[in-house]
Amino acid sequence: MIAKTDLTRTHDGPEAVVLGGQQNGLGVIRSLARAGHRVRVVSADQHDVATASRHVRPFRVPTFEGERFVEELLHLRRDMPQGGVLICADDRPLMTISRYRDQLSPHFSFLLPSHDLLSDLSRKDRFFQLAQESGSPVPPTINLQRHGDLGQLSELKPPLCVKPNFRTQAYDSSFRKAYRAESHADARQLCEQILDVTEVIVQEWIEGSNDSIYFSLCCFGPSGKAAFTGRKGRSWPPQIGFTASCWPAPDVAEELENLTIQFFRHAGVTQGLASMEFKRDERSGRFLMVEPTVGRGDRQVEIAAICGVNLCHMAYCDAAGLPRPPLQYDPAHVWRDEFTDFLAARALGSRCFYPPGHRIHNAHWRWDDPAPALLVAADYAARALRRVTNQRFSRPNLPIEHQAKRVETP
């Protein structure tokens, strides 16, 4: 729990400005609040859980895209006499400030890799190419750009993981983050649908339980590098979704941090936040890289701050030209999304287990910052009510044998 003295801004440097809210942004905000920051959060989303936090002053924008967003940021800057440090929690504002960095850098402080490198690492095909060049461990992978490429599926051994080469609004509105296909035929059918929207990455599935996914979070800067390694307890949806719970993994930290830093050095990432996700193959015991995140905080970033490795504050200090704080590593903590972790455990037929002796920190509910949890709970209740209402009124009053089966789009 954040100490009461942290609830008001105690940091004397420029203001911390978090670009993007929701769950990612909330974790970044609470990480910065631990270091005494009162944060500005810039949000373009309605019903944004991050804007409900007591640690922020929200600033709403109509879009994260183009010159309109740049103008909004410059307007915000006029209300910040000590200046501002930009920290991204969303890919949309990240790519915009990178593209317009020459216009923004006289007014804000931020550290990012080159725009070309950010663009490369946002594409999964380019990531796998860089990983192979650097000798980093990755599963066999192909990139399908058009329907005529579907014959390449025969080069891979099922089961297969199918996901977009890069995320688009059209993809996100119709498909899940990723899929598991048990056969070439299943993969082909799914890829045919996705190729109507975007390019597809297909790779051999890395066999392993839901808790065999690990991550290394890094901050690169003038003061050197810092890293934190953790392990996912569960994901939602299981195996292919977002982090539902996680905790430190000191037993494999040296191995995974070395692999992560080696890859980013090869790619040319020398400043800012970056992270790598791994999965341990249960057949060989090897760790294989799954995907990187570069230039922004991700969903797991707060567990690092809770355990004394406050990477968001380090990124702030590097951009502001201030010394980094000393580390006080304490691995006996768990971060969990108290809503999706329960769903994941139920789907897996298990209970919400955690390492013994670890203190649990909820992603939403905090005694000193309760509003985000109340907002999420209200949203879950509203969705449940809509489902019940739709089930009651959407079908004609016919015998069950005459009712059409409900088909869910992926």
- What are the residue boundaries of the structural domains of the chain, listed by start? 4-111, 140-204, 213-362
CATH number, domain 4-111, options 3.40.50.720, 3.40.190.10, 3.40.50.300, 3.40.50.1820: 3.40.50.720
**213-362 has which fold?**
D-amino Acid Aminotransferase; Chain A, domain 1 (3.30.470)
CA 319 from centroid of its chain's CA atoms = 21
On the question of a common fold for 140-204 and 213-362, the answer reads: no
Q: Which residues are paired to 18 by β-bridges? A: 41, 87
Alpha carbon distance 214, 232 (integer Å): 6
By the 10 Å C-beta count (0-12 exposed, 13-18 middle, 19+ buried), 405 is classed as exposed
Per-10-residue mean pLDDT of the chain, 410 residues long, equals 41 90 96 96 93 96 96 96 96 96 97 95 93 94 95 95 88 89 95 94 93 96 94 91 95 98 96 96 95 94 98 97 93 96 93 94 96 91 78 52 34
CATH number of 140-204: 3.30.1490.20
For residue 240, the one-letter residue type is I
Note the pLDDT of residue 74: 97
Note the pLDDT of residue 173: 86
Nearest in space to 305 (alpha carbons), one of 236, 224, 361: 361
